[in-house]
Chain A
């Protein structure tokens, strides 16, 4: 059964406990000066698998308020990163997480370009860098435990469960409360993701990419790749045919020439 997580942006107070839990569980270093995990400058980075970004927005009455958005890999149902990887170093697992296998990776960084959310980061300062992104605590999930970040949230802003149930909860929540915008971010984006968000603010104001297509991205390239075997056979056939004709024509020409020469003396 595939797992999912629902983030309710209205419940997040921006304490950053989730980012601490993530660093502890995954053994990532801190660099608050250059790569802060909480605040207006918070950005995902090689050492930041999750951050809480702070956004100044207007609430329903027009008053300026803060909103906090927890960011991490969304774990697409059909991940572009996994389809882009030439060695299969990124794989979608049955339980939901998109997992990275550094031993296979050659470091071409196509996944970083391919991800519509701009999630995979790189260890630019290392000699033999790895791609770096949230693994959705796949080891914990295998034991049916929630990811580290979810389990520590003091305000239960995140809910972990089976993906169908999570989607139902999300729909029920936005239907029952007028404050929410009628959009579940992650329900349709890139063909659907394991992490979903509900919010009282439009998502582009919280730093979520609004340009992401609803169609799973691997479908685009697969439409081209699956034609290759047939194209290969037909194209080789045509070329071989033309080559044979050319060869035959040359042979006829040269034998005629030699006959002509033979007759002369």
Chain B
């Protein structure tokens, strides 16, 4: 146990020591990389983008979509039963974006010029839009998260000030997220003729946005299952089935759009008539990410069966894997033929990604344990302590 003061502590476990080890390695490797350049990677002229782009940027942003989706469901649509997940989702999103920013910085060849887009606008560039939205949204998320932080350190009045901004922040957050989640897809519209037509389509922005809206709550679901185990809070039988349904419906839209798009562009039959790495990966992506979770979802939905924890978590995992496969396919599999050579990340690339993720998890654990992120819900061992500090934004939901 590391004790900073009477309120702020950090419990040490074996797992956390491993995370700390990887985090330390991350900072050492990044310092080295900043000094010597990108020669420690396996990136090349044929593969200017690789592992970091897939995981640290594309997946990082997609998987942090839980922030704006849950905030939108709770504040804009007014679905109060998902209250218990809003704060943890905001925390994950905020951390996710901070990690994305850090990951992006590591990936930039001339990283010290990271602020250039603010003064020199390439307004024809999707990348510019992405940069601006991610920058602004990180600010918005910080402000959305501020009440939890200030309340945690005892600045009640500052916390209240930020609470008053909630409506504006939530709407700004959704608009900014809509723009940059979709532009992650639009980015690859420019690769017409290079990106395999199984993935290249003018509908990329719509597909990226809708899959992000489906995967956001799925990540929140998995996170809740994991944190429930760690912090012994109960599975929320109101919020979680709602999120499972939300993801199910949005994923249905995504899947129909994806298939119609493939049919319209004469690519659908190719999936079953030719067999190569591209069609295999595409089928894998569609089956794991859409067909299986939709099969489970609709069988539960039609028969009116209650979506229990097992079902919700299983479906969430499928949806997340589907998005992981989809983004990997766009950046790697779909570009394979036009690149002409192969690519596999170097050990340093992998360690930096692992280290960045470890660092993110550590900060998550630290904040979750010290800033009353989980609204009291059931009677866990640590709930007493948490309930005292909670109650920002809206009151806790008494369940038992």
A residues near B, CB below 8 A?
A: 44-46, 80, 82-89, 104-110, 112-114, 116, 118, 121-130, 211-213, 215, 217-218, 220-225, 228, 231-232, 235-236, 239-240, 242-243, 246-247, 249-250
Contact = CB atoms under 8 A, between A and B. Distances in A.
26 contacts: A45-B45, A83-B124, A85-B125, A86-B122, A104-B113, A104-B120, A106-B109, A106-B111, A106-B113, A106-B114, A108-B107, A112-B45, A113-B190, A113-B194, A122-B48, A127-B36, A127-B37, A212-B193, A220-B189, A224-B186, A235-B178, A236-B171, A242-B76, A243-B76, A246-B75, A249-B78
Contacts of A85: 122, 125, 127
B77 interface: yes
Contacts of B78: 246-247, 249-250
Contacts of B109: 105-109, 122, 128-130
Main secondary structure of the interface of B (DSSP, over half): helix
B116 A104 contact: yes
Contacts of B303: none
A225 B132 CA distance: 14
A129 B339 CA distance: 21
A134 B108 CA distance: 22
Contact of B191 (A114, A124, A129, A223): A114
> Which of B38, B77, B122, B179 has most A Cβ within 10 Å?
B122
B83 interface: no
Nearest to A249: B78
B236 interface: no
Contact of A243 (B35, B44, B112, B171): B171
B49 interface: yes
A236 to B, nearest CB: 5
Nearest to A103: B113
B190 A129 contact: no
Contacts, number: 172
Nearest to B112: A128
A105 B110 contact: yes
A217 B190 contact: yes
Given A113-B190, A239-B72, 4 more contacts: A106-B111, A108-B127, A116-B192, A232-B179
Is the interface on chain B under 10, 10 to 19, 20 to 34, or 35 or more residues? 35 or more
Given A122-B109, A221-B186, A250-B78, A106 B125 contact: no
A124 B110 contact: no
A88 B114 contact: no
B110 A106 contact: yes
Given A107-B111, A240-B171, A221 B37 contact: no
B122 A87 contact: yes
A217 B127 CA distance: 15
A108 to B, nearest CB: 6
A127 B36 CA distance: 5
B167 interface: yes
A124 B77 contact: no
Given A124-B38, A129-B109, A88 B190 contact: no
B126 interface: yes
B122 A213 contact: no
Contacts of A107: 108-111, 113
Nearest to A101: B120
Q: Which 6 pairs from chain A and chain B are nearest by CB? A: A107-B109, A246-B78, A86-B128, A109-B48, A86-B127, A107-B110
Contact of A220 (B43, B117, B202): B202
Contact of B121 (A80, A88, A118, A213): A88
Nearest to A222: B124
A86 B183 CA distance: 13
B187 interface: yes
B139 interface: no
B190 A243 contact: no
B175 A225 contact: no
Interface in B157-183: 167, 170-171, 174-175, 178-179, 183
Contacts of B117: 86-87, 106
